[in-house]
Structures are given as structure tokens and as C-alpha cells.
Amino acid sequence: MGMLKRNPDKTLSPEMGYWKYLLFEYFGAYDDGSLEMRLKALQVGWMIFSREGKAAYEFVEFHKNKRRVLGDVLKYLYVIVGLGGLVLLLYVFSAPFFFALLAFVPPIIIHLLAYKPRLKQNLRHVTHILENSQRFTQLINLPIDDENGLRAFIESLRAGNKDAGERKNDTEAHEAFSDDLISDFQLQLREISKRENQFNQMPMREVIDFFNVMCCPACIQEVPQMSEDDFLLFLKSAFLLHPMQKKIVLRSKKPVITRLIFHQFMLASYDKHHDKKDIPKYATLLCDHFEGFEYPPYELHV
């Protein structure tokens, strides 16, 4: 990683070629720089994909595949260098076994160089954005030249990650002292979060966090919204198998964004080993609960 790093920001432009962008991404040209440049590269990358007629889910898939491929390459490199050096020292130079173990030092050095702290931090932020529909939508809707907006997004991103960690580590204390400060809607969400997911193996707390972008007043310009009552109805019907009288009508008609959210949910479930990649199952999750979507013929794309 980190190759092609000679002023990569100067090559970063919505006019750059599609294959050139893919090449720069695969060689980590934008991964080891500042977080601002890494996120700007995501914005520009989406503009390039959009120009080529690619869907948002294809852009998300590309970055996930990129990280998976680079990870696999490093693993093979560790094995080749480590075991190759061990065999060389043992059988060619007849070195003592404990001395031959020094062959595993180069793979460790390679790992430390490949995953420097700033690079790991950038990858962690990018992964969070790609797995969070709300964050992804906010980023791609920021004007490319809005430096203040990007800085505000980064501050929000860092604060959100910190808050998420604090909530995860202090959930019981939060619940013990905040009952009188939250609404009935939040209380119901809390109760649902403790239930067992009947749709897949993802914890209900994570399900709620994933879909809350569709019940978020601040996101109304970017993402189709449902009321708090409908959000509770969706969670109970889709994941707790409660009966549902009629389908939910979203407040704004943005079928592409809606399909992207459900497609990302399928990928998140698959990536985190909560479920297998079952396209009809996740397509009907959308179509059975929301008005205006039918399956078949509609399908989530692989």
C-alpha cells in the first residue's frame, strides 16, 4: 500500500479516467494521506463511477473488494516470505531452527509498514462510511469543493465514532440513568434492541442502527423517510415476525436510494457472518414491507 504517492491529490479529479482511478485505488495512492484527501478521493471516485453509469452499490462493492484483495495479497506475501525464508535457512544454509525462525521477521516488518497508524485509521473511517447508509449519503452529497463542509463532516464522523464506542462500553449505565430523558419511541426501540432477531443473526441493536437513516429528520433531503410508528412497525414485522396489516408508504420516492440501503444491509449481514448472501430473501424484506416495490421482477443486484 501507499504506492503511487507522488502528489496523488494533483491527479485527483472528476475528469480522470475510470481505469486510472481503479488503478490508483488498488495501489493505495489515497489510503496513507490525510483523512481529508482520503474522503475527497471517495467523493471523486463516486463521481467517476456515476459518470460511467455505475450504481452506488457497485461503488461500495468495489471498495470492499479492493480491501479484501489487498488483504489477501498481504497474507500470501507473509506466507511466501516467511515460509520461503524458513525453508531457505533450514535446508539451504543448514541454520539452527531457532535462528531460522528469524525468517518471520520480514513479514512482521512488512505488516507494520503496510498498516501504519494513519493508514489503519483511514481504512477504519472508510469502512464505517461504506457500511453506514446515512454517512455514505451525506458524503457523496457534499459539493466536491466544499472544504468547510468536508471538515464539518469529518468532525461529525470522529465524534460519532467516539460516541458509538462510549455507548457500546457503557450501555447499562446509560439505560439506568436516562429513562426519564427519552421518548416513548426510544423506549420501544430499546425494548426491540433486546429481542432476538428472527430474520437473520444480526443483533437487533445493529439492525436499528443500520435502518435509523430511514427515520431521521436530518436525512430527509437525501433518504426516503418513514414515521416513527412505521419504523417500529417495520422492525417488529420484518425482524420479530409480528403481523403487518398493510405496507409502509415512504415519504419521498427515491427507489434507487431505498434499494441501495437494503442491498447494503444484505452485504453487511453477509460480511459480518450474520447470514448467507440470499438475494430473494433480502429483496422480499424490502418488497413485503414497503409500497411501490415488487418481487419478482425486482431484484437486489449481486
User: What is the model's pLDDT at position 200?
Assistant: 92
% of the chain beyond a pLDDT of 90 = 19
Nearest C-alpha neighbor of 125 from the set 152, 154, 101, 102: 154
Hey, is 44 helix, strand or coil? helix
Where is 118: in which H helix or E strand?
helix 117-131
My answer on whether 132 and 188 are in the same domain is no
| pLDDT recorded at residue 217 | 74
Question: Which is more confidently placed, 243 or 128?
Answer: 243
Confidence of residue 296 (pLDDT cuts 50, 70, 90): low
pLDDT, position 229: 94
Mean pLDDT over residues 103-111, rounded?
76
Which residues pair with residue 248 across a beta bridge? Answer: 290
Statement to judge: residues 118 and 211 lie in one domain: no
pLDDT band at 176 (very low <50, low <70, confident <90, very high): very low
Please provide residue 290's backbone torsions phi and psi, each rounded to the nearest 5 degrees. -130, 135
248, part of any domain: yes
Residue 31 · residue 2 · CB < 8 Å:
yes
* pLDDT above 50 for 63: yes
160-173 pLDDT per residue, tens: 654 444 444 444 43
Q: What is the mean pLDDT of the chain?
A: 80
Is 71 a residue whose pLDDT tops 60? yes
State how far the Cα of 52 lies from the Cα of 30, in Å rounded to an integer: 21
User: Is residue 26 domain-shared with residue 132, that is, in the same domain?
Assistant: yes
Total Cβ atoms within 10 A of residue 34: 13
So what's the pLDDT on residue 9? 57
pLDDT at 8: 56
Q: Is 300 contained in some domain?
A: no
Q: pLDDT-based confidence at 194, cuts 50/70/90?
A: very high
CA 264, 265, 271, 275 torsion: positive or negative? negative
Do both 191 and 122 map to the same domain?
no
Q: Is the pLDDT of residue 187 over 70?
A: yes
**Domain final residue, candidates 136, 160, 194:** 136
Taking 60 as the threshold, does the pLDDT of residue 4 lie above it?
Answer: no
Domain boundary among 136, 163, 192: 136
> Is 28 found in the same domain as 122?
yes
Where does a domain end: 136, 154, 170? 136
**Mean pLDDT confidence for 143-148:** 86
**Residue 154: band (very low, low, confident or very high) from pLDDT cuts 50, 70, 90:** confident
Q: Do residues 16 and 131 share a domain?
A: yes
Residues 46 and 128 in one domain: yes
Domain assignment of residue 113, yes or no: yes
- The pTM for the full model equals 0.53
The SS3 assignment for 248 reads strand
297 pLDDT tier (thresholds 50, 70, 90): low
Same domain as 129, residue 198: no
| pLDDT value, residue 162 | 47
Domain membership flag for residue 233: yes
Residues 110 and 193 in one domain: no
N- to C-terminal Cα distance for the chain?
28
Give pLDDT, residue 13: 85
Spatial distance between the Cα atoms of 29 and 170, rounded to a whole number of angstroms = 38
Strand partners, 293: none
- Asked, for residue 215, whether it belongs to a domain, the answer is yes
Query: Is the residue at 155 inside a domain?
Result: no
Instruction: Quote the number of domains for the chain.
Output: 2
Task: Give dist(CA 81, CA 87) in Å, integer.
Answer: 10
Q: What is the pLDDT of residues 22-38, one digit of tens each?
A: 999 888 888 878 889 89
Going 216 to 221 to 225 to 229, the CA torsion angle's sign is positive
Task: State the number of CA atoms in the 13 A half-sphere of 192 facing the CB.
Answer: 26
Residues 41 and 123 in one domain: yes
Contact 114, 24 (CB under 8 A): no
Residue 107, domain extent:
8-136
> Distance between CA 298 and CA 301 in Å, rounded?
9
Distance CA 233, CA 225 (A): 14
Helices 56-87, 133-140: axis angle to 10 degrees equals: 110
